[in-house]
Amino acid sequence: MTDTSSDTRLTIRDLDIHFATDGGDVHAVDGVSLEVAPGEILAIVGESGSGKSVTARSVLGLLPETAEASGAVIVSGTDLVGLSQAQLRALRGEDVSMIFQEPSSAMNPVFPIWWQIGEGLRAHRPKITRKQIRAEAVKALESVGIPDATERIDRYPHEFSGGQKQRIMIAMALALGAELIVADEPTTALDVTVQAEILELLRDVRDRFGTAVIVITHNMGVVADLADSVAVMYRGKIIERSPSRELFAAPQEAYTKKLLAAVPHLGRNSAWTALSTPQQTALEEAEPVVMAKDLVIEYPGRLGKPAFRAVKGVDFEIRAGEVYGLVGESGSGKTTIGRAIAGLERTTGGSLSVLGHEMNGMREKAFKPLRRRIGFVFQDPATSFNPHLTIEQCIAEPLVVHEPQLSPAARSQQVRSFLEAVELPGHYAGRFPHELSGGQRQRISLARALVLEPELLVADEPTSALDVSVQATVLDLFRELQERLHFAALFISHDLAVVDTLAHRIGVLFRGDLVEQGHGPDVLQRPQHEYTRKLIASLPVPDPVEQAKRREAFIAQWGSGAPS
Sign of the Cα torsion 515, 518, 521, 522 reads negative
Per-domain boundaries in the chain: 102-174, 277-541
Say yes or no to pLDDT of 255 above 80.
Answer: yes
Pairing mode, strands 323-327 and 374-377 = unpaired
Give yes or no for residue 561 having a pLDDT over 60. Answer: no
- In this predicted model, which residue has the larger pLDDT, 245 or 194? 245
pLDDT at 465: 65
343 and 371 Cβ atoms separated by less than 8 Å: yes
Cβ distance 138 to 144 under 8 Å?
no
Write the CB contacts of 185 (distance below 8 Å, at least 6 apart in sequence): 101, 216, 217, 218, 465
Q: Which residues are within 8 A (CB) of 201 and not within 5 positions of it... i.e. 6 or more apart?
A: 144, 145, 167, 170, 561, 562, 563
Q: Which residues of 180-200 are buried (b: 16+ CB within 10 A; e: fewer)?
A: bbbbbbbbbbbbbbbbbbbbb
pLDDT for the residue 189 = 64
On whether the CB atoms of residues 295 and 351 are closer than 8 A, the answer is yes
Length of the chain equals 564
Condensed to tens digits (0 to 9), the pLDDT of residues 112-145 reads: 999 998 888 888 888 889 999 999 999 888 888 7
Residue 22 has pLDDT above 70, yes or no: no
Q: Which CATH class is domain 277-541?
A: alpha beta
- 527 vs 187, residue with greater confidence: 527
Cβ neighbours of residue 235 closer than 8 Å, sequence gap 6 or more: 30, 50, 51
Res. 539: pLDDT tops 60: yes
Distances 509 to 145, 330, 331, 348 between C-alpha atoms, Å: 25, 10, 9, 18
Task: Look at residues 401, 384, 381, 387 and name the one whose alpha carbon lies nearest to residue 431.
Answer: 387
pLDDT tens for residues 468-489? 777 788 888 888 889 888 999 9
Average pLDDT over the chain, rounded to whole?
Answer: 87
φ and ψ of 63, to 5 deg: -80, 145
- Dist. CA 389–CA 391, nearest whole Å: 7
Helix (H, G, I), strand (E, B) or coil at 347: coil
Identify whether the C-beta of residue 314 lies closer than 8 Å to the C-beta of residue 292. Answer: yes
- Residue 92's Cα: distance from chain center in Å? 26
Q: pLDDT tens digits for 31-58?
A: 999 999 999 999 999 887 788 888 988 8
* Chain-centre distance for alpha carbon 383: 14
Percentage with pLDDT > 70 across the chain: 96
Strand partners, 72: 13
pLDDT of residue 3: 45
pLDDT range class, residue 84, cuts 50, 70, 90: confident
Edge-to-edge strands, sheet with 24-36: 24-36, 10-21, 67-75, 78-79
Tally helices (H) and strands (E) across the chain: 23, 20
Q: Which of 275, 272, 338 is nearest to 499 (CA)?
A: 272
CB 72 within 8 A of CB 81: yes
Angle value at C-alpha 310, between 309 and 314, nearest 5 degrees:
100
Phi and psi, residue 496, nearest 5°: -65, -35
Residue-level pLDDT at 563: 45
Judge whether residue 1 has pLDDT over 70: no
Tell me which of 408 and 6 has the higher pLDDT.
408
Is residue 460 predicted with pLDDT exceeding 70? yes
Per cent of the chain over pLDDT 90 is 40
Mean pLDDT of 165-191: 82
Closest CA to 513 of 305, 331, 307, 354: 331
Q: Please report which helix (H) or strand (E) contains residue 123, including its range.
A: helix 113-124
Torsion of the alpha carbons at 64, 65, 71 and 72, rounded to the nearest 10: 60
Give the 3-state secondary structure of residue 129.
coil
Residue 188 in this model has a pLDDT that exceeds 80: no
Alpha carbon 427 to its chain's center:
29
